[in-house]
């Protein structure tokens, strides 16, 4: 084990022991996190590593802490353990049985928070005041780097934060994964609260809203549910595409939506697509989503990626030379979350090895990632592979020709482009001879539906996917 760990850190570990692995992970987190955060959240954790290293169970004092650790640290812990162990390792969080406080029932996060004494929320053990609103206080406008890709969304969000309930209500922000939609929502909530601390603000993921509806339904507590949601000044709801096919949730959300708009409270939503691109959501909701302002966040351009790297590494107390930032930004293109992952690897590598950050160090730290990038699938590659497979010309992928023998492979290629690349619908449309994004959306939906019904099409797609993934 531990073959993934640079030697200077691995040296101090009891060889082969689970304790050693966990300790190395804790040591690394001690370096990465501010001291208070580390002492509050990471230090008290107890971990049991399975003998065969297939699984690590991390024991946490109570449910509240478990939710917080899951949201804030679990991914990083899992990533570190995997990196250090050199193989995939399953991470589970569990509540230490005997320490579970009686007053906290394992119910929804929000109810649990309400059941906590005032002094616990926000004060005890340095818990940030954010959990009450579920806002992450680190996600502010100050820490959000601005660029062409998010300029409009940021300006609209800033407007809402300073004058909620007026223009752009609801504000609907859409874009691909890891592009800063959630960050922007939190920034609005944090800014509003900094100016109006009494404002009732709630950030919630759409799945949690679904779960709250289910619980209210089971316990017949819809009055409380309505009281909670309808009394807000600002509702921030993430990933509304998760409402698809959830009839009751959509109804409750519709009610909350109408109640909030009627009292000039503000609603901000995010989604992976624009309102009309949402599937299995009632038309009356979709039209309301679109009634305020809809803005996209695009993948960041090169200069913005460079700025993000430099700013984030500075926040971590390390200077990343511009040439290194350019090198990383050129190679990690898809989204900011990946950029952050690359940065963490570089910083950890530099600290473990006590070496200055240089292009060579970045190259070494990102070895795995860069080799995956090189194998990344491009739209051009998809067009060529599909054209070869169906024996049409690559040029037909861009042409305006419509006979079925050409149109169908083209739709299949669009479907695969959406499935296998990070490109947005408009970007794909552009790469297929400047077609509109609705044409791409139509193709994606059509092939998705037909794939489920037609075994031969499914088989062809399977072959194409395997060919493309190499
Ligand atoms: N412009 C930016 N400047 C600084 N950090 C950013 C920026 N955009 C995104 N980030 C950071 O990238 C990470 C991913 O962003 P976020 O979670 O907001 O993405 P998202 O669009 O909501 O993605 P998903 O749909 O996957 O939830 C976060 O840590 C966020 O702080």
Tokens standing for 245?
Answer: 């096919």
Instruction: Specify the residue for token string 């394992």.
Output: 106
Task: Please give the pLDDT value at position 156.
Answer: 96
**12 annotated binding-site participant:** no
Task: Report whether residue 337 contacts ligand 1, using a CB cutoff of 6 Å.
Answer: yes
220-226: which pairs have CB atoms within 8 A and are 24 or more residues apart?
222/252, 225/252, 226/255, 226/256, 226/259
d(CA 184, ligand 1 centre) in Å: 8
pTM of the predicted model over 0.90: no
- Structure confidence at residue 111 as a pLDDT band (50, 70, 90): very low
Are the C-beta atoms of 290 and 305 separated by less than 8 Å?
no
Using the predicted structure, report yes or no on whether residue 125 has a pLDDT greater than 50. no
Q: pLDDT averaged over the chain? A: 84
- Structure confidence at residue 403 as a pLDDT band (50, 70, 90): confident
Domain limits, the chain = 7-99, 151-296, 302-374, 379-469
**180 annotated binding-site participant:** yes
**Overall average pLDDT of the 19-23 stretch:** 84
**Overall average pLDDT of the 26-46 stretch:** 82
Task: Report whether residue 418 contacts ligand 1, using a CB cutoff of 6 Å.
Answer: no
- Percentage with pLDDT > 90 across the chain: 52
Give CA–CA dist 205/67, Å, rounded: 13
Using the predicted structure, report yes or no on whether residue 120 has a pLDDT greater than 50. no
Are the C-beta atoms of 133 and 234 separated by less than 8 Å?
no
Tokens standing for 206?
Answer: 């759409």
Alpha carbon distance, N-terminus to C-terminus of the chain: 29
Between 400 and 65, the higher pLDDT residue: 400
Give CA–CA dist 317/281, Å, rounded: 45
On whether the 302-374 domain is CATH 3.30.1490.110, my answer is no
Phi, psi for residue 193 in degrees, rounded to 5: -70, -30
| Residue 186 CA, closest ligand 1 atom number | 18
On whether the 151-296 domain is CATH 3.40.50.300, my answer is yes
Give CA–CA dist 342/362, Å, rounded: 9
Are the C-beta atoms of 222 and 216 separated by less than 8 Å?
yes
Please report, for residues 135, 146, 176, 269, 438, the alpha-carbon distance to residue 171 in angstroms, rounded to integers and kept in the order given: 18, 18, 17, 6, 22
Give CA–CA dist 84/350, Å, rounded: 15
Report the nearest-CA residue for atom 4 of ligand 1.
144
Which of these, 332, 412, 327, 440, lies nearest to 376 by C-alpha position? Answer: 332
Residue range 379-469, CATH number: 1.10.1750.10
Counting DSSP H helices and E strands in the chain, the numbers are 22, 8
Task: Report whether residue 181 contacts ligand 1, using a CB cutoff of 6 Å.
Answer: yes
Buried b (16+ CB within 10 A) or exposed e, 86-102: eeebebebebbeeebee
Using the predicted structure, report yes or no on whether residue 107 has a pLDDT greater than 60. no
Give CA–CA dist 294/270, Å, rounded: 10
Return the SS3 of 92: strand
Task: Report whether residue 144 contacts ligand 1, using a CB cutoff of 6 Å.
Answer: yes
Between 75 and 322, the higher pLDDT residue: 322
Return the number of other C-beta atoms located less than 10 Å from residue 441's C-beta.
Answer: 20
**312 annotated binding-site participant:** no
Give 412-423 pLDDT, tens digit per residue. Answer: 999 999 988 888
Are the C-beta atoms of 130 and 136 separated by less than 8 Å?
yes
Spatial CB neighbours of 236, under 8 Å, sequence gap ≥ 6:
185, 186, 188, 189, 201, 202, 203, 204, 268
Task: Please give the pLDDT value at position 36.
Answer: 67
Tokens standing for 191?
Answer: 């800014």
On whether the 7-99 domain is CATH 3.30.300.180, my answer is yes
Instruction: Specify the residue for token string 């290194």.
Output: 324
Task: Please give the pLDDT value at position 41.
Answer: 81
Tokens standing for 442?
Answer: 């139509």
ipTM, interface predicted TM-score of the complex: 0.98
Task: Report whether residue 301 contacts ligand 1, using a CB cutoff of 6 Å.
Answer: no
Instruction: Specify the residue for token string 């004060």.
Output: 123
Are the C-beta atoms of 185 and 273 separated by less than 8 Å?
no
Are the C-beta atoms of 174 and 299 separated by less than 8 Å?
no
């Amino acid at each position: 084990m531990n073959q993934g760990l640079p030697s200077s850190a691995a040296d101090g570990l009891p060889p082969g022991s689970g304790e050693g692995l966990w300790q190395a992970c804790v040591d690394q987190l001690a370096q990465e996190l501010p001291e208070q955060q580390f002492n509050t959240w990471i230090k008290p954790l107890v971990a049991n590593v399975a003998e065969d290293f297939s699984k690590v169970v991390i024991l946490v004092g109570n449910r509240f802490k478990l939710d917080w650790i899951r949201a804030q640290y679990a991914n990083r812990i899992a990533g570190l353990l995997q990196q250090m162990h050199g193989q995939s390792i399953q991470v589970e969080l569990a509540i230490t049985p005997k320490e579970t406080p009686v007053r906290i029932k394992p119910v929804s996060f929000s109810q649990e928070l309400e059941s906590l004494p005032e002094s616990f929320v926000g004060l005890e053990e340095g818990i940030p005041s954010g959990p009450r609103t579920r806002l992450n206080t680190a996600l502010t406008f100050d820490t959000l780097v601005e660029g062409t890709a998010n300029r409009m969304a940021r300006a609209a969000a800033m407007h809402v934060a300073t004058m909620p309930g007026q223009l752009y209500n609801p504000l609907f922000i859409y874009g691909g994964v890891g592009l800063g939609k959630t960050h922007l929502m939190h920034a609005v909530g944090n800014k509003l609260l900094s100016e109006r601390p009494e404002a009732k603000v709630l950030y919630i993921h759409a799945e949690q809203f679904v779960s709250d509806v289910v619980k209210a339904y089971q316990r017949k507590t819809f009055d409380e549910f309505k009281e909670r949601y309808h009394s807000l000044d600002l509702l921030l709801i993430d990933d509304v595409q998760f409402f698809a096919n959830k009839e009751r949730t959509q109804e409750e959300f519709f009610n909350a939506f109408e109640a909030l708009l009627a009292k000039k409270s503000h609603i901000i939503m995010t989604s992976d697509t624009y309102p009309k691109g949402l599937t299995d959501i009632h038309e009356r909701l979709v039209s309301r989503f679109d009634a305020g302002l809809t803005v996209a966040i695009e993948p960041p351009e090169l200069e913005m990626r460079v700025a993000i790297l430099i700013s984030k590494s500075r926040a971590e107390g390390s200077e990343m030379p511009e040439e290194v930032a350019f090198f990383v930004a050129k190679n990690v293109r898809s989204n900011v979350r990946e950029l952050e992952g690359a940065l963490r690897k570089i910083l950890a590598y530099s600290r473990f090895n006590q070496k200055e950050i240089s292009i060579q160090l970045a190259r070494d730290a990102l070895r795995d990632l860069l080799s995956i990038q090189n194998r990344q699938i491009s739209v051009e590659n998809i067009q060529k592979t599909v054209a070869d497979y169906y024996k049409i010309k690559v040029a037909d992928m861009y042409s305006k020709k419509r006979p079925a023998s050409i149109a169908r492979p083209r739709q299949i290629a669009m479907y695969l482009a959406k499935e296998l690349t990070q490109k947005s619908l408009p970007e794909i449309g552009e790469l297929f001879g400047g077609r509109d994004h609705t044409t791409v959306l139509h193709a994606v939906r059509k092939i998705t539906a037909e794939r489920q019904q037609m075994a031969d099409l499914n088989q062809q797609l399977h072959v194409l996917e395997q060919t493309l993934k190499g």
